[in-house]
Structure formats: structure tokens, C-alpha cells
Amino acid sequence: MPSTAFPVPVLQGGLKLTNEPPKGLKANMTRSLTDIGEARYEQCTKPREYKKLLFALSYFHAAILERRKYGAIGWNIAYEWMNSDFNTSEMNLMLYLDQQPEVPYIALNYLIAQVNYGGRVTDDKDIRCIKAMLKNLMRSEIMQDGYKLSKLDTYYAPPEGSLTEALNYIASLPLDEDPEVFGLHTNANIAFEIKTVNYFVDTVLLMQPRASGGKVVKTPEEIVTELAVELGKQLPGNLNFDKAHEITFELTPEGVENSLGVFVRQEIERFNVLLIRIRKTLVDLEKAIAGTVVMSTDLEMMFQSFIDNKVPLIWEKVGYPCLKPLGSWFKDLIQRIEVVGDWLYNGPPISYWTPAFFFPQGFNTAAMQSYARATTTAIDTLVFRTNVMPCFNKDIKERPETGVYVYGLYMQGARWDSTKKCVDDSQVGVVIVEFPVVWLEPILEEDLKTDKQFTCPLYKTSVRAGELSTTGHSTNFVQYMSIPTDRDQDYWIRRGTALLCMTDY
């Protein structure tokens, strides 16, 4: 804590040390149990319950730390849990076991997952995940010898014994952990490897020389100029409201513009702002390279982004969240403009490509509002029922009676099994799969059934984390979709399963 009596020169001249958790499940669990000590390990009045649950707690502590290396599929935000979280939870565990006649599993789950560890968590989807992980460990079944802590047979709570025996069991565990240990699918290793390679590539790009040698090789200025000219030729013109189809902005019987028309008008305005920015900066960059205008900081950063095949920051500021490299991003932009332009010039489509929009949350609200006005139903009593259709967009020939069809989504961490008509484990080596058309059907909230449903989050990008907007929601989170499942939904939450509006490439 702060102290006015402590001499400042000592702080200024001293060495700063940090006590970070060791890498790997084995090392982390060994440290956690070693810090407990033999004396405290034998101190509880319910020795069997304490030792089993303490082992589960050390496994939980190590697992949530190691999940961070898998990026967004592990946690939306990487949290810095520390030994103090484990020590506090261990003291709570012993206190509750000593003072309660029965093991209070519900209280322990709440206290450890949502208070001790959850107190550091800022994303509600991560809270959901940490609860699901602890619930699989802090339960009555763990008192059975041989109860598996994961899908793998190797990991289980050892029989009641001494601390040395528990540490010997940990020492026998594999050195390289399969992602299944942390509740993830084996494919999570691919995400980890991609993350590692991307970091390596970014480092190499940062270190590479900016000038090229030789007479045959093009200079960076020539490369960027050619790219700017080529992008300028491909860039479409602004969307023209004067050529709009008569039903795109059709008025309701009350004399106001229909909700979907209001939404697409706002989207078109955003696209036009982005198009104007791209067109102007491309021209300015060509002039700056030629020396006819001053090379500003923004243009210099844009120049470097073109060299690295990245989207310039000056475009991102007025653009939409997207992780694609420059070439894929530009193709994606043209496709989005074509989709929104088709809506503008030819009227509302039969099905909607959700990833095309800057603000897909607004599209959901507009679709719900259209139904509420048509049926004179209070909008705050309505929710969307998610109906996964047995087809993709090319097979959709007509509009639904109520609600809207949406397509273009991808599933990460799982896949849709069209035979069983429910979510199922991913195939090995296939990280992201295309998801079928979804019918968002407006119904009364009281009629929504949640049995055998996985409440799956939909994000704009695979990063998943976003900034909190004024509404209190993440800017990257779109909505929850209820998807049929033949397993407990906690299984898919531990898997990090989510729907995405786009891939990274």
C-alpha cells in the first residue's frame, strides 16, 4: 500500500521483480499444492473432501491460466489471475468445509468463480466460461475415485492420500497438454500456432529494411503507387439515394419510413463516408509519392500499411471491424457495397448477408421493430427464436412469413451437424466452418424454450473482445443465438464455441 515514510530513492534505484505463474499445467499445479504445505494439507476436519476439492481447485487455477495462450477461443480478454486468487479460494474452501455439515457446492461455485476469480473478469461471456469450467470440477461426482477432470483419461482427482502422493501423481502427467485438458477441442492448437506465427511475422516486418537494392527490383514507392492506382480503378462509386427502389424506403401506414429502410439508409451513409475517405487518400498518396503534396503522418502510415499488406489506420477509423489483410479486405468491401447497393436499387432481398453491415445489431432491432409495428406488439416483449435452416443461401427462394433470413455466418469451436440437426464437435483440422441460413423468428419472450439449446454468442470478428459502447454492450458482440444441442451447453461454453460474421483471411 502507499506509504509516505518509504524513501523514494530506494524505489528509484531498486530492481522491480514480478512473481509470474509457471508455464504449463504440471508446473502450475505443483507450485499451487507445494505452497499449501504438508501441515495445512492435513488440517481440514473433512480430509477427503478437502483434498479432492483442493486438487480440483489447483487444476482449475492452472487451466484458466493456460487457456490464455489459445487467444480469443480461450478467453475474450486475457486476465492476470494470481496466486492470491488461489490462496483466497483455498481458505474459503477450508472454512466452508470446517463450518458446514455438508459440502456447499453451490456456494463454493459462486464464491470462487464469480467473486474470487470473477472479480477480475470484465466480459460477461468470460464469466459464463469460468463458471462452466469450475462447475465441471467443483461437484459431488469428484468424490468418486477416477472421476475425470476432462475428456482425457489421464487427468482425474487422485485418491485421498498425502501431499507427496498428490505431487507424484502430478509429476506423472504428460509434459505437453492437449487442449482437451482445458475444455477445448484439439483444433485449438491450430489457433495457437497461427497466433504464434502472426506474432513472428509482425516482428519480422518490423525489423526488415525499408529500402530495396538492385536495379531490377521495384522500389517501395513504385510498388505502393501501382497498388494505389489499381485499388482506385476497382473502387466503386458512391451509392446514390436518388436511384433507390420505391419500396426500399417505403412509408408505413402511419406515414413514417419503414424500420429496415431507416437502417439501410444509415448503412449507406457510412459506406459513402468510407468510399470518399478511400478515394481521397489514394489520390493524396500518389501525389505525396510524386512530391506534389506534403507526405503527412497519416499518408506515411498508409504507405507503410500498403508495403505490409495491411489496412491503413486512416481507413479503419471510418470503417468496420475486420481482420483481413489489405487484398482480402478490399474484395470484402466491394462485396459489401454490392450487397447494400442491391438492396438500395432493387428493394429488400429475400435473405440478408449479416456480415455486410457496419452495425448488425441495428439490423436486428429494425427487423424486430418491423414485426412489432405490423402486429402491434410491444417490442420489449419480443425475442428472436433461432431456427437453423437445412440449407444455404443459394437454396432460399422466398421470404419467411415473419422475421428474416440471415446468412454468411461461420462457426468456430464446433460445427453444425445437418444429420443430427444440432451442434457437434469440430472435425480435426477444420477450425472454422460455414453455418447454414438462420431464420430469426420474432416470438413472445414467454414462448421461448431454452431446453436442449446452446446460447451461442455471435461476434463480428474472431478477436471477440470489443470496447464497451454507451449501451453497456461490447462493440464486437452482435447477439445470442439459441442452437439445438444434445449435450449440456456448458460443454460448448468450455469449448469456446461461437459464431463469427467473417473469417480472418
- pLDDT digits 0-9 by tens, 150-184: 988 899 999 999 999 999 999 999 988 899 999 99
Residue 505's pLDDT band (cuts 50, 70, 90): confident
Question: Does the domain made of 217-349 have the CATH classification 1.10.3110?
Answer: no
Q: Chain-wide mean pLDDT for the chain?
A: 92
Q: Is the pLDDT of residue 8 over 90?
A: no
Of residues 301 and 208, which shows the higher confidence score? 301
3-state DSSP call for residue 473? coil
In 3D space, the residue among 428, 389, 433, 387 whose CA is nearest the CA of residue 412 turns out to be 433
Q: Is the pLDDT of residue 430 over 80?
A: yes
- Beta strands 410-412 and 351-353, pairing class: unpaired
Residue 196's pLDDT band (cuts 50, 70, 90): confident
| Residue 245: how many other CB atoms lie within 10 Å | 14
Residues 427, 431, 433, 438, CA torsion sign: positive
In 3D space, the residue among 357, 454, 354, 366 whose CA is nearest the CA of residue 403 turns out to be 366
Q: Alpha-carbon distance 248 to 304, whole Å?
A: 41
If you average pLDDT over residues 491-505, what whole number do you get? 95
State the pLDDT at residue 211.
56
Of residues 194 and 35, which shows the higher confidence score? 35
Q: Is the pLDDT of residue 210 over 70?
A: no
Q: Is the pLDDT of residue 212 over 70?
A: no
pTM: 0.90
In the chain, list all ranges with CATH 3.10.490.20. 350-505
State the pLDDT at residue 469.
63
State the pLDDT at residue 473.
62
Residue-wise pLDDT for 41-94, tens only, equals 999 999 999 999 999 999 999 999 999 999 899 999 999 899 999 999 999 999
CB 46 within 8 A of CB 93: no
Q: Alpha-carbon distance 10 to 274, whole Å?
A: 53
Q: Alpha-carbon distance 382 to 441, whole Å?
A: 10
Burial class (CB in 10 A: 0-12, 13-18, 19+), 183: buried
Q: Is the pLDDT of residue 213 over 60?
A: no
Of residues 296 and 216, which shows the higher confidence score? 296
Question: In angstroms, how far is CA 273 from the centroid of its own chain?
Answer: 28
State the pLDDT at residue 209.
66
Q: Is the pLDDT of residue 472 over 70?
A: no
**CATH annotation of 19-185:** 1.10.8.720
State the pLDDT at residue 17.
75
If you average pLDDT over residues 227-241, what whole number do you get? 96
Residue 11's pLDDT band (cuts 50, 70, 90): confident
CB 149 within 8 A of CB 137: yes
If you average pLDDT over residues 121-139, what whole number do you get? 95
If you average pLDDT over residues 469-478, what whole number do you get? 74
Q: Of 3.40.1190.20, 3.40.50.300, 3.10.490.20, 3.40.50.1100, which CATH number belongs to 350-505? A: 3.10.490.20
Residue for grid cell 440478408: 352
Q: Is the pLDDT of residue 360 over 80?
A: yes
Q: Is the pLDDT of residue 216 over 70?
A: no
In the chain, list all ranges with CATH 1.20.1270. 217-349
State the pLDDT at residue 307.
92
Residue 22's pLDDT band (cuts 50, 70, 90): confident
∠ at Cα 13 (9, 19), nearest 5°?
A: 115
Long-range contacts of 399-404 (CB under 8 A, 24+ apart): 399/350, 399/351, 400/439, 400/441, 402/371, 402/441, 402/442, 403/367, 403/371, 403/439, 403/440, 403/441, 403/442, 404/351, 404/352, 404/367, 404/439, 404/440
**What letters, b where the CB count within 10 A reaches 16 and e where it falls short, cover 198-235?**
eeeeeeeeeeeeeeeeeeeeeebeeebbebbeebeeee
State the pLDDT at residue 55.
97
Residue 4's pLDDT band (cuts 50, 70, 90): confident
Of residues 381 and 3, which shows the higher confidence score? 381
Q: Counting every residue, how long is the chain?
A: 505
Q: Alpha-carbon distance 323 to 202, whole Å?
A: 14
Helix axes 124-135, 47-66, angle to 10 degrees: 140
CB 58 within 8 A of CB 29: yes
The DSSP 8-state label assigned to residue 426 in this structure reads: P
- Beta strands 498-500 and 453-459, pairing class: parallel
In the chain, list all ranges with CATH 1.10.8.720. 19-185
Q: Is the pLDDT of residue 28 over 90?
A: yes
Q: Alpha-carbon distance 395 to 288, whole Å?
A: 49
If you average pLDDT over residues 270-285, what whole number do you get? 97
∠ at Cα 104 (101, 108), nearest 5°?
A: 140
State the pLDDT at residue 32.
94
